[in-house]
Amino acid sequence: MALQCGIVGLPNVGKSTLFNCLSNAKAQSANFPFCTIEPNVGVITVPDHRLNELAEIVNPQRVVPTTVEIVDIAGLVKGASKGEGLGNKFLANIRETDAIIHVLRCFDDDNVVHVDGSVNPIRDKEIIDAELQLKDLETVESRLARVQKQAQTGGDKQAKRLVDVLLQYKEVLEQGKSARVVTFDSKEDQRLAKDLYLLTNKPVLYVCNVDEASAVSGNQYVEQVRAAVQDESADILVVAAKIESEIAELETYEERQMFLEEVGLTESGVARLIRTAYHLLDLQTYFTCGVQEVRAWTFGRGWKAPQCAGVIHTDFEKGFIRAEVIKYDDYVRLGSEAACREAGKIGIEGKEYVVQDGDILHFRFNV
């Protein structure tokens, strides 16, 4: 599944530092690789303790984790929505992503000059938000002009419904708010809204880049961000990019864990960032287990068994017969597929089964 999270932020907020940490395999663990599709796109493995536990039980020939794509989006200046600076490139790149990781500077350091002369994460957020909102407003008004004519002259019910959706978006965008604050009850309206591909309707994670002293509990800047985004249904993650860059330089997993303990952390911010980005895309994981391979597979929340089978191979979906399902907790507790079978812990599910995060699956198919 080629779904992507795009990292955005103003200059000198730590965006590139974080991306470089993501690109360094040592920032994760010894067996979590990184590869580059092009200079600013990284395919990064998702840390998952369940995969490691299953591998310890099965002792397979190889272990394959699941991945998420992270894109380092081009820089932005005021006026990007009108094509200023790298504005058009920025907006084109962000439109191609499925979710946004918005990095905000939440630390004081006289040696790191802020592009606007002072540290103010709310102002920084509003600069990028405003450019995206202006572009979305342009999109909405252009679409509205066309659809209103259809609704008035043709009596098109679908067009009238779309007009209502567009007007709701127009109202909030004109108020300087993002499209994601608008919610729709009906599935039809939700579909129409999704098909507009508005920039500010993408799910967003705000990453507060703090200093080392604030890495565990945050600071006043983080609290300002929390207050500012409380109506957005957005997640917030506190990360100290400077610490992450130091962790990335350490040679062994043991050294990295010792460093984390010294600063009061149980896990690196980069690992938390990758995992949160994965969930931000509404992705989940199921597993296949065998002596040749223990593997994590990515699927979308709410997918049924045949769709999930298709992730492995399209033939699995076309010829789907049934899925044998073992719950992760049962597998770990009993210690093997044979033990689960003997205990009656293998479920036989058909085409309507909605796969759950952590399921261990074996598909039966015929082509």
CATH of residue 252's domain is 3.40.50.300
> Binding residue per annotation — 45?
no
Q: Are 14 and 108 in contact (CB under 8 A)?
A: no
Rounded to two decimals, the pTM is 0.82
- Stronger pLDDT, 232 or 206, i.e. the higher one: 206
pLDDT at 222 exceeding the cut of 90: yes
Coarse DSSP helix, strand, coil percentages of the chain, rounded to the nearest 5 percent: 45, 20, 35
So what's the pLDDT on residue 353?
97
So what's the pLDDT on residue 74?
66
So what's the pLDDT on residue 35?
46
pLDDT digits (tens, 9 = 90+) for 188-202: 989 999 899 899 999
Q: Find which of 34-38, 260-264, 279-283, 314-318 is predicted with most confidence, using mean pLDDT.
A: 314-318
In a shared domain, residues 332 and 185: no
Confidence of residue 115 (pLDDT cuts 50, 70, 90): low
Is 58 among the domain residues?
no
Compute the distance between CA of residue 357 and CA of residue 93 in angstroms, rounded to an integer. Answer: 30
Is 224 among the domain residues?
yes
In a shared domain, residues 11 and 140: no
Is 85 among the domain residues?
yes
Q: How far is CA 179 from CA 10, 48, 92, 174, 231, in A?
A: 21, 32, 18, 10, 12
Please give the average per-residue pLDDT across 211-219, as a whole number: 89
Please give the average per-residue pLDDT across 261-283, as a whole number: 87
In a shared domain, residues 185 and 216: no
pLDDT at 125 exceeding the cut of 90: yes
Is 258 among the domain residues?
yes
- Stronger pLDDT, 41 or 227, i.e. the higher one: 227
So what's the pLDDT on residue 28?
39
Query: Total structural domains in the chain?
Result: 3
Which of 114-123, 291-300, 340-349 bottoms out in mean pLDDT, i.e. has the lowest?
Answer: 114-123
In a shared domain, residues 86 and 212: yes
So what's the pLDDT on residue 310?
96
3-state secondary structure of 337: helix
In a shared domain, residues 237 and 338: no
In a shared domain, residues 275 and 358: no
Compute the distance between CA of residue 189 and CA of residue 157 in angstroms, rounded to an integer. Answer: 12
- Stronger pLDDT, 154 or 64, i.e. the higher one: 64
> Binding residue per annotation — 13?
yes
Please give the average per-residue pLDDT across 354-360, as a whole number: 97
Compute the distance between CA of residue 19 and CA of residue 247 in angstroms, rounded to an integer. Answer: 14
- Stronger pLDDT, 12 or 161, i.e. the higher one: 161
Q: Are 287 and 54 in contact (CB under 8 A)?
A: yes
In a shared domain, residues 8 and 43: yes
So what's the pLDDT on residue 71?
86
Last residue of a domain, one of 199, 234, 250: 199
Buried b / exposed e over 6-20, threshold 16 CB at 10 Å, is bbbbbeebbbbbbbb
So what's the pLDDT on residue 32?
39
pLDDT at 83 exceeding the cut of 70: no
pLDDT digits (tens, 9 = 90+) for 284-343: 999 999 999 999 999 999 999 999 999 999 999 999 999 999 999 999 999 999 999 999
CATH of the domain at 153: 1.10.150.300
In a shared domain, residues 252 and 191: no
> Binding residue per annotation — 332?
no
Is 119 among the domain residues?
no
> Binding residue per annotation — 142?
no
pLDDT at 160 exceeding the cut of 90: no
Which of 23-37, 147-161, 237-251 bottoms out in mean pLDDT, i.e. has the lowest?
Answer: 23-37
Last residue of a domain, one of 164, 199, 234: 199
Q: Are 44 and 290 in contact (CB under 8 A)?
A: no
In a shared domain, residues 82 and 12: yes
In a shared domain, residues 176 and 320: no
Angle 16-89-281 from CA coordinates, rounded to 5°: 65
Phi, psi of 348 (to 5 degrees): -105, 115
> Binding residue per annotation — 36?
no
Is 55 among the domain residues?
no
Question: With pLDDT > 90 as the criterion, what percentage of the chain qualifies?
Answer: 48
Mean pLDDT of the chain: 86
> Binding residue per annotation — 85?
no
Q: Which residues is 150 bridged to in the sheet?
A: none
The structure tokens listed for 165 are 């959706």
- Stronger pLDDT, 249 or 138, i.e. the higher one: 138
By CB atoms closer than 10 A (0-12, 13-18, 19+), residue 60 is middle
Q: Which string of DSSP letters, residue by residue, matches 87-122?
A: HHHHHHHHHT-SEEEEEEE----TTS--TTSS--HH
pLDDT digits (tens, 9 = 90+) for 2-31: 688 888 888 778 888 888 887 664 333 333
Q: 342 lies in which domain range?
A: 302-365
In a shared domain, residues 328 and 268: no
pLDDT at 90 exceeding the cut of 70: no
Last residue of a domain, one of 144, 171, 199: 199
Is 235 among the domain residues?
yes
- Stronger pLDDT, 59 or 151, i.e. the higher one: 59
Is 125 among the domain residues?
no
CATH of the domain at 328: 3.10.20.30
Confidence of residue 34 (pLDDT cuts 50, 70, 90): very low
In a shared domain, residues 159 and 226: no
